[in-house]
Amino acid sequence: MLGRYKIILSGAYGEQGKGLKRETYVWVLPWKIILIILLAIIIGILITRSFFQRNKMKQDMLEEKLSHEEQEIEALKAELRKK
């Protein structure tokens, strides 16, 4: 039940039964299914975004630790050269 539908209204009025006819088009969409799909897409985007933000934060922390470790190694090398 998805798509464009044509609605036709036919009627008669008066003592002589004069005819009246009107037609129009409407779109029928399963709004509940569309709403569920949209919500699933939004939730998927939010979860993916959260995942990538969390990984970026972890990467930044690891890069900071690595930088600190490199400085510490350089300091130890300098200390060993003095001896």
Q: What are phi and psi of 4, to 5 degrees?
A: -95, 130
> Where do we find the tokens 């029928």?
28
Residue 64: per-residue pLDDT: 95
| Cα distances (angstroms) measured from residue 6 to each of 14, 25, 26, 49 | 27, 4, 6, 43
Report the pLDDT value the prediction gives residue 52, as an integer from 0 to 100.
96
Q: Give the list of residues 6+ apart from residue 7 with CB closer than 8 angstroms, or none.
A: 23, 24, 25, 26
pLDDT tens readout for residues 40-82: 999 999 999 999 999 999 999 999 999 999 999 999 999 999 8
pLDDT in tens, 4-41: 999 999 999 888 888 999 999 999 999 999 999 999 99
pTM here is 0.55
Structural domain of 35: 3-82
What's the number of domains the chain is made of?
A: 1
